[in-house]
Amino acid sequence: MPDTIPFPSAQVRFGSSSGQPLTRRDGFLKVTGAATFAADNHPENLLHAVVAVSTIARGRVVSLDVEAAKAHPGVVEVITPANCPPLALDPDEKHGLFGFRFDALQNDRVRYAKQPIALVLAETLEAATEGTRLLAPVYETEPARIGFDNGEPYAPATVGVGGAPDFDRGDLAAGLAAAAHLVDTEYETPAQYHNAMEPHAIVAEWDGDTLTIDTPNQAIVLSRAAYAAFFGIPPENVYLRSPFLGGGFGSKAILAGPQILCIRAARMLQRPVKLALPRDQMFGPVGHRGATRQRLRLATDAEGRLTALEHHAVATTSSFDEFIEPAANASHNLYASPAISTRHGAVRVDTGTPGPMRAPGEASGSAALECALDEAAAAIGIDPLEMRLRNYAETDPATGRPFSAKALRECYAQGAERFGWAGRPLAPRQMTDDAGRLVGWGMGSALFPAPMFQAEARATLRADGTALVETAAADMGQGAWTALAQIAADSLGLDIEQVEFRSGTSDLPDGGVAGGSGHTATAGSALHNAGTDAIAKLAEIAVNDPASPLFGAGNAGVEAREGRLWHREDETRSEGYGDILARSGMESLEGSGTGGRDPADAEARAMFSHGAVFAEVKVDPDLGQVLVTRLVGAFAAGRIINPKLARSQLYGGMIWGLSFALHEEAIHDRRTGRPVNADLAGYHIPVHADIPAMEALLIDEDDRYVNVLGIKGVGEIGITGTVGAIANAIWHATGVRVRRYPIRIEDLIG
């Protein structure tokens, strides 16, 4: 990227904030407890709501003891399908691209365990909780359909969010026939649940037909419109506040039944209502990653170059809706093959509907692909890194388009050097440590798209030399408040401390969706364009004002930095923002901007972040216990706005990859359909003792096409190389190839 971005009559120089490892602006508020999360709001006259959920997975509710619950001291109301007010839209219909069917007490049917079957409202949380216990539901039960072998197979119309289920490029049959080697293998990944630190919560309050909501949300303005539609009011009548999110991972971008029930209760009773899901209710109505079964066939010539790549994935989804984990799509864009064929199937089971979960499709698909490629390397007898280099794609394998930028070779080289990969023996079970543990080294390639959505922003220069920038962005822990403020400050030629950043409420310009690793690029582009628009307007005033030192500089142009406009060809001529505004009689000057990508640009080039992850594991040869001792990741993701925040996100992704490989699995009782580990004791995630020495290398990459700022994303890519790297390292240590996740002790010693 050039050092400056031109715009009418003025320029802004990158540098003072962008690229700096600034500490998060919201960090102090969070560590001191001053940050206000949704459940921290306590309007006057507040009622507490608790959802009563089903203990069966399939059937109907025959009866509820509503009178017993209402008789409990403090209970104000019990809402059931019998008295639940109607919605303006049917919750059993899909509304919009991100719309899901959900349960909001529309009938007595039970479609999964932990489905809402009633809502109890009380003066205290304790009374509402006891009221749900007194309901004593009676069910008419039908057999639960849990697992691939008990569900109902079907062919999905779409996968992911509106994607095509099947893909073909080249002649698969010819590629298979030409193969000197063929790997035909199957992998399984389990259901996983988001389990953000902050469970879903909402506080809803009505004032006539105006609704105020406090709820963690990844798509603030989009969700405002959705909430308004379900309650038959204009979007501008909804005020959604979401300044802080305690994690989201995709689950807080989607409307769900419990939030709708809370809003209905507040309208019905004309009192503010708070609902915060307990941890166990996170395993039901608010999304998860569906389980997958994946078959891969990798055909190669004698030197290990792919002649055909076939990837078929089957994923679980709910009995009543459709979100299919697009796992096979992970094989589209990474490795050069003259023939690529991917297919998706689905199985309906009696669980809640899956949804987007950090790296949806890429995480589960790469967990299989990266191991299958290692299997092929082992069959041929070449190093796994060499195998990847021999199949390096110079253009996008799926489309033939050139990449907007691709520094994956540099990721391989720098990651391997830092890790010490050159000393790796080819055969497994060749390395031990001083304690007699088996040592293994594995690697995996990392890939994630670089999408952009649509966003708007506003920038206001003030006469005192400061600025206000505004966009309804969402910071769910990735540091958006800081990175976006850095972009805005540079666009205005100001120090970041001179910029007030407002975000997190629906009355601000639409900041787009915080998801898909595209939020910084999207909202950041809108803020940059808003800032450059404000500076352009200010420059126009100055160069046309005879009293300004910059008068007549229109042809040469001016540059914005340090709170002043500078003549580009004469450094002795400059003027402060405040002076320009004061002389023109203006208290402030406003600029606006949008962020998004021209469809023609998206069609012209393939846009991805790339990376490589190297893992070391140590395995007890007698007990099969696995310890990951080192992780080194090297990632190329365009311009890095804040290296400290970027590394934090990459570490988080790599930790999630470790969790995927060794820990996470949602287990449902096949008889009842209930999740049996619906808590953070039974649903395993890594703790500090599980996390190894980690390093994330940021590889320089200049992408002139992805957007005006050259920004990609880092939020999800860290998962996609890590899962396979750890699994491959376990094989290298033990000689045992495990083809299901999470990898268990019994898989290694059984």
309 inside domain:
no
For residue 638, what are its two tokens? 């365009």
Which residue is it, tokens 């449902």? 668
**What torsion do the CA atoms of 566, 568, 569, 570 make, to the nearest 10 degrees?**
10
Summarised one tens digit per residue, pLDDT across range 181-229 is 999 999 999 999 999 999 999 999 999 999 999 999 999 999 999 999 9
Residue 380 predicted with pLDDT over 70? yes
Q: What are phi and psi of 365, to 5 degrees?
A: -70, -40
- Same domain? 370 vs 482: no
Q: Does 104 have pLDDT greater than 70?
A: yes
For residue 678, report the phi and psi dihedrals to the nearest 5 degrees.
Answer: -85, 55
Distance of CA 568 to the CA centre of its chain: 42
* Strand, helix or coil for residue 473: coil
Q: What count of other Cβ atoms lies within 10 Å of the Cβ of residue 73?
A: 10
> Model confidence over 342-356: pLDDT tens digits?
999 999 999 999 999
SS3 content of the chain, % helix, strand, coil (to 5): 30, 25, 45
Task: Dump pLDDT digits (tens) for 31-84.
Answer: 999 999 999 999 999 999 999 999 999 999 999 999 999 999 999 999 999 999
Compute CA distances 463 → 574, 577, 582, 586, 589, whole Å: 16, 7, 7, 7, 9
For residues 733 and 620, state if they share a domain: yes
pLDDT at 643: 97
Residue 666 lies in a domain: yes
Rounded CA separation 445/335 (Å): 10
300, part of any domain? no
**Does 616 share its domain with 572?**
no
The β-bridge relationship of strands 238-241 and 210-214 is parallel
Exposed/middle/buried for 615, CB within 10 Å: 0-12, 13-18, 19+? buried
Domain count, the chain: 3
Judged by average pLDDT, the poorest of 15-19, 135-139, 155-159, 263-267 is 15-19
Give the pLDDT confidence score for residue 15 in this predicted structure. Answer: 52
Residue 534 and residue 616 in one domain? no
3 state DSSP class of 47? strand
Do the beta carbons of residue 657 and residue 134 sit within 8 Å? no
pTM for the complete prediction? 0.96
Quick one: tokens of 375?
A: 């299997």
pLDDT over 90 for what percent of the chain?
95
Tell whether 127 and 115 lie within a shared domain: yes
Report the pLDDT value the prediction gives residue 750, as an integer from 0 to 100: 72
- Residue in 660, 653, 611 with CA at minimum distance from that of residue 289: 660
Distance from C-alpha of 686 to C-alpha of 337, rounded to nearest angstrom: 36
Do the domain assignments include residue 176? no
Long-range Cβ contact pairs of 556-561 (< 8 A, separation 24 or more): 557/6, 557/9, 557/10, 557/11, 558/9, 558/10, 558/11, 559/4, 559/10, 559/11, 559/12, 559/13, 559/493, 560/10, 560/11, 560/12, 560/13, 560/492, 560/493, 560/535, 561/12, 561/13, 561/16, 561/493
Nearest to 695 by CA among 650, 640, 750: 650
Count of C-beta atoms within a 10 Å radius of residue 194: 22
Instruction: Enumerate long-range contacts of 66-72, CB under 8 Å, 24 or more apart.
Output: 66/118, 66/135, 68/134, 68/135, 68/136, 69/120, 69/131, 69/132, 69/134, 69/135, 70/131, 71/134, 72/122, 72/127, 72/130, 72/131, 72/134
> Rounded mean pLDDT of 243-268?
96
Is 429 a domain residue?
A: yes
Same domain, 272 and 412: no
Distances (CA, A) of 171 to 340, 551, 614: 8, 66, 33
Whether residue 362 is predicted with pLDDT greater than 70 in this model: the reply is yes
pLDDT grade for 602, boundaries at 50, 70 and 90: confident
Q: Do 126 and 268 lie in a common domain?
A: yes
Same domain membership, residue 572 and residue 496: yes
If we measure between CA atoms, which residue out of 744, 710, 719 comes closest to residue 330? Answer: 719
Check: CB of residue 539 under 8 Å from CB of residue 558. Answer: yes
Chain segment 702-716, per-residue pLDDT in tens: 999 999 999 999 999
716 is catalytic: yes
Q: DSSP states of 413-472 as a string?
A: HHHHHHHTGGG--SSSS-EE-TTS-EEEEEEEEEEEE-----EEEEEEEETTS-EEEE-B
Q: Is 646 helix (H, G, I), strand (E, B) or coil?
A: helix
Q: Do residue 653 and residue 710 come from a single domain?
A: yes
* Final residue in a domain of this structure, among 547, 580, 596: 596
Verify that 648 and 744 share a domain, yes or no: yes
Calpha distance 373→502 (Å, rounded): 47
Say if residues 141 and 59 touch (Cβ distance below 8 Å). Answer: yes
Catalytic choice (205, 322, 664, 716):
716
pLDDT of residue 636: 98
Let me know whether 710 and 692 are in one domain. yes
pLDDT band at 3 (very low <50, low <70, confident <90, very high): very low
What is the DSSP code string of 525-547? HHHHHHHHHHHHHHHHHHHT-TT
From 574, 596, 618, the end of a domain falls on: 596
φ, ψ of residue 104 to 5 degrees: the values are -135, 45
Residue at 339 is within a domain: no
Cα separation, 37 vs 603, whole angstroms: 40
Query: Which helix (DSSP H) or strand (DSSP E) does residue 659 occupy?
Result: helix 643-662
CATH number of the domain that 566 lies in?
Answer: 3.30.365.10
Place of tokens 């649903």: 683
Q: Containing domain of residue 225, as a range?
A: 38-142+194-282
Which one of 216, 247, 282 terminates a domain?
282
Same domain, 623 and 495: no
| Per-residue pLDDT tens digits for 272-286 | 999 999 999 999 999
- pLDDT over 70 percentage in the chain: 98
632 has a pLDDT exceeding 50:
yes
**CA neighbor of 643 nearest in space, from 24, 13, 26:** 24
For residue 4, pLDDT over 50 is answered with no
Residue 702 covered by a domain: yes
Q: Are 151 and 347 in contact (CB under 8 A)?
A: yes
**Gap between the Cα atoms of 96 and 227, Å rounded:** 12
In-domain check, residue 177 = no
Q: What is the mean pLDDT of the chain?
A: 95
Is omega for the bond preceding 742 within 30 degrees of 0, making it cis? Answer: yes
One-letter amino acid for residue 227 of the chain: Y
Give the residue-averaged pLDDT of 168-191. Answer: 98
Q: What is the pLDDT of residue 13?
A: 47
Q: How far apart are CA 215 and CA 248, in angstroms?
A: 12
Average of per-residue pLDDT across 559-581: 95
Q: Judging by DSSP bridges, how do beta strands 306-318 and 340-349 pair with one another? A: parallel
| pLDDT tens column, 5-26 | 333 345 444 457 899 999 998 9
Q: What pLDDT, on a 0 to 100 scale, did the predictor assign at position 12? A: 45
